[in-house]
Every structure is written in C-alpha cells, then in structure tokens.
Amino acid sequence: MATQVDAWSVAPQADGVVTFEDNKDGANHPYSDDEDALLDAEANGNWTPQEKALHEARIKAKAKRRLRRSSSRNSTSESLSESGEAAGGDPSALKGKVHNNDRKSRTGKGRGLPKKGGAGGKGVWGAAGMVYEVEEPDMQDPNYDESAQGDTVYETVVPEVEEKELEKMVNPIVQEYFEHGDTKEVEMLLKELNLGQHKYEVTSLAVSLSLEGKASHRELTSRLLSDLSGKMLSQSEMAHAFDKMLKELPDLILDTPEAPQMLGQFIARAIADHVLPMTFLDCYKGKVDCDHARVALDRAAVLLTMKREMVRLDNVWGVGGGLRPVKHLIKEMNLLLKEYLISGDISEAEHCLRDLEVPHFHHELVYEVVVMVLESKGDTATHMLMKLLQSLWKTGLITVDQMNRGFQRVYDELPEISLDVPHAHSIMETFVDLCFKESVITKQLRDACPSRGRKRFVSEGDGGLIKN
C-alpha cells in the first residue's frame, strides 16, 4: 500500500484531478480533521464504501469552489451580455483586456450588480428615484432639431427707413395715388414700411408733390391727409409737418411761385377737416419773421373766417378732374362758352378748358358748341364758335375721336332739337359745310350729316313719280 501511495505522489496530474498535496491547501476547512482521518483509514486499508463515496464527493465540491475563485480573480473572465450571449467569446482577443462597457465590479467582491446602483457611467439613467429638472434646448448643440421644438413662429423684421431713402420710397406711392385716388391702398403701402421717427414727413412729401401738380392733385392730397389723420398720423405729427413746410417756403417758391397761397389753403382745409388742431394758427401770432410764412398764415386765417360756418372747405381747390359730377362739368362748359362769346378771348377759353382736367369729356364741349350754333340768331356767334373749334383742334385739346363723338351726338338728337328750332336741319348743314372748309371735321363726318330735303313731284297726277 505504501508503494501505491508513493506512485500517486509522483504521477503527472490529470485535468480535473486533485492530489493529496492540493488537499493540504484546504486545511482551514471545517472538515479537514475528518479528511485526515479518512486518509489514515485508507492508508491502513480500512475504508468502507460509504466513507470512500463521501470522500470523493467532498473532493469534487472542493474542486468546484477552487474553479469559481480562480475565475472571479481572472481579469479576462467571460461576462454575459444583456442578450445572454458571451461578450468575450472571441478566442483571438487579448488576455487581460478591460472592457469599458462592463459595468460590473471587477474587484472580486459584490454580487455582480451595476456600479453605484446604476447612477454611474456615461449615458445611464441614473439612480432610481432621481428627478431631473427640465433642460432648455441649446441651439448651439449639434443635435439640436428645430422642427422638434414645436410650432415655430417666424416674424418679418423690416428695417427702419432712413431719411435719405424716405423720399425715394414715398414719392412713387403718392404719384400712383394721384392716378387711382384710393386712400386705403396708400395706407396699406405705408404700413408695410417701417417709417419710425420720420413718419410725419409723409405729409410734407405729399403736399410738396401736389404743389407742383394740378388742382385735382391738391384735392386728392387734402383727402389723403384727412383719411390718414388718426390712423397713421396724429395731430401733433401733422402740425410738425406743416411747421416744417412753413420753414421751407423760401425753397418751395423757387419751383412753385404760388406756394405760400397754396400752403395757406392746405392749412385752412386741414383745420376744417380736424387734421390740425384749432389752435394751430394761434401758436404763430407774433412769432413769424419770414414774409412767405406770414402770407400763408394770413391766407389760412382769411379762408377760415369766410367759411367759419362750414364744416369743411370742400371747394377750396375747386374740385377738379373727373371727381366732379357731370352736371357740374356741363355747367362749367356752358359758362366757358358764354364768357368766350362776350370776350372773344380764345386763349382764356383754352386755359379754362385745361383747368377742368377732363380730356375724356371734351366731346361735351363740341356738343354744346353745335347746339349753341343751332340756337343762335346771327352769323357772328356761328363764326366765333367755329374759330374756337378750329383753335382747339389745332392745339390738340380736342382730338378726332372727341370731335366726331360731339357732332354725332347732335346728329342723333337733331329730330328732337328741330322741335324747338324748326330750321335746325338747314342751319346744321351750313355749319357742317363751314367746318369742313376750315378743316375742322373730316369728309366722312360731313357726309354723315342728316338732311331733310323736300321731295318734289312732277305733277299731281303723275302717279307718284319723283322729279330728279
């Protein structure tokens, strides 16, 4: 038996077999004394089968404990991933490599739980029960997503118009307003501009342009100021603008000699329309050194005194252009012709016709001239009216279309006119021939003149034959 024990001690160790020398390491085990007794019994050949089986079971259990201790101390031990597969299953991996994504303790202690209870490491949720504050999104963050921040409100920022560019932007709007006359469109266009502190200059620019224009433009400007007052411009801003124009009168006179009188009419109309405060003129009493400004203020004071019982000075500009009613235009043309028959001044008649500013309505003047010729009793009025048409034709105030339209209107109404003027047809033929000889009308218009010639028969019993 002793020989057999020696052979065991020198024999090479097989995998998974524990020798007696290895068992000496477990001397601190509580069953080490029993094991020594079993070894002595085996050496004496006194082991029972039950003792031998118990001894083998203890050896296997000790071998498993030794394997677990060695694997926990080994830094290259395999760890299971979240999916249950081995994370270090690559056989070519270097031994001793530390996995950064391994959150388990590698000190050999603990139960394999996450470090710091899940609160440590980058990209983790933190410890259970931890409450985070609402973090505002950072626009400088590379991962910032603008579309994920909810509804985005975009505001258009319009820069304030500089004083140098104000005239270039406002003048086209005012000039276009003189064509269409829609104050609401002007208000909409001005609101799109960020005028800022220079908003009051819209008034001075509009008045300056109207001073260089016609009476109808000045009437439209007064209406524009009345509509903008209280919506875009206050009374103080209007007063500031007119005060500036009173100071600039010496420069305005260079282009418009009648600027002081016109500016006075603007002031009177603005006060009547409640665009300017009623005390505007009182602020300048005894404080005006400029003669031109004094003329403008005196003109405004006189108009307000004359029209003090009127709510508005609507006729301060004479209501020009197509804004006037048709009956008023017809009355003005009749007065024009009557004054011409009295004075015989063709240039004055042309000036009055231009001031009416209704070139599309000049056919009415031609109509009134022809009717006046039919109703006249002598040849003097006929020749004077023919010379007036001839002059207006040559200067271009009356076009071919307006001339033809005026004569054609008389042709169509000739049967009705003949009820009041029995010889209207013969007078009409004579006047048409005279106008054609003086090259006032065309041949086609002359041939279109209706004639009421008397039918002459051969005799009473000729059977109705007409004499050639």
pLDDT (tens digit per residue) in 280-315: 988 888 788 889 999 999 989 888 887 554 445 666
Q: Read off the pLDDT of residues 97-117 as tens digits, 9 standing for 90 and up.
A: 555 555 555 666 666 666 676
Q: Report if residue 91 sits inside a domain.
A: no
Q: Report if residue 87 sits inside a domain.
A: no
3-state helix, strand, coil in the chain (%, to 5): 60, 0, 40
Q: Read off the pLDDT of residues 117-128 as tens digits, 9 standing for 90 and up.
A: 667 667 777 777
The angle formed by the CA atoms of residues 405, 406 and 409, to the nearest 5 degrees, is: 85
Specify whether 379 is located in the same domain as 414.
yes
Confidence (pLDDT) at 379: 85
Specify whether 296 is located in the same domain as 384.
no
The length of the chain, given as a count of residues:
468
Q: Report if residue 281 sits inside a domain.
A: yes
Confidence (pLDDT) at 146: 67
Q: Report if residue 452 sits inside a domain.
A: no
Burial class (CB in 10 A: 0-12, 13-18, 19+), 241: buried
CATH of the domain at 223: 1.25.40.180
Q: In whole angstroms, what is the distance from residue 215 CA to residue 210 CA?
A: 8
Query: CB atoms < 10 A from the CB of 293, how many?
Result: 22
Query: Residue 208: pLDDT above 80?
Result: yes
Q: Read off the pLDDT of residues 354-380 as tens digits, 9 standing for 90 and up.
A: 878 788 889 999 999 999 999 888 788
Write out the residue range of the structural domain in which residue 429 sits.
324-447
Please, are residues 238 and 276 in contact by the beta-carbon 8 Å criterion?
yes
Q: Read off the pLDDT of residues 237-274 as tens digits, 9 standing for 90 and up.
A: 999 999 999 999 999 898 888 899 999 999 999 998 88
Count of domains forming the chain: 3
Q: What is the mean pLDDT of residues 400-428?
A: 91
Cut 0.75: pTM above it: no
CA-based R_g, the chain, Å: 58
Domain boundary among 306, 339, 363: 306
Q: In whole angstroms, what is the distance from residue 320 CA to residue 361 CA?
A: 13
Half-sphere exposure of 214 (CA within 13 A, CB side): 15
Question: Of 317, 306, 417, 386, which is closest to residue 357 (Cα–Cα)?
Answer: 317
Specify whether 252 is located in the same domain as 282.
yes
Specify whether 296 is located in the same domain as 188.
yes
Confidence (pLDDT) at 455: 45
Specify whether 277 is located in the same domain as 373.
no
Query: Residue 38: pLDDT above 80?
Result: no
Specify whether 332 is located in the same domain as 280.
no
DSSP state, residue 115: G
Q: How confident is the model at residue 407 (pLDDT cuts 50, 70, 90)?
A: very high
Q: In whole angstroms, what is the distance from residue 144 CA to residue 156 CA?
A: 23
Distance of CA 142 to the CA centre of its chain: 33
Specify whether 269 is located in the same domain as 215.
yes
Q: How confident is the model at residue 155 (pLDDT cuts 50, 70, 90)?
A: confident
Specify whether 262 is located in the same domain as 346.
no
Q: What is the mean pLDDT of residues 23-37?
A: 49
Q: Report if residue 205 sits inside a domain.
A: yes
Specify whether 295 is located in the same domain as 374.
no
Residues in contact with 30: Cβ distance below 8 Å, sequence separation at least 6, in sequence order: none
Specify whether 173 is located in the same domain as 221.
yes
Specify whether 442 is located in the same domain as 344.
yes
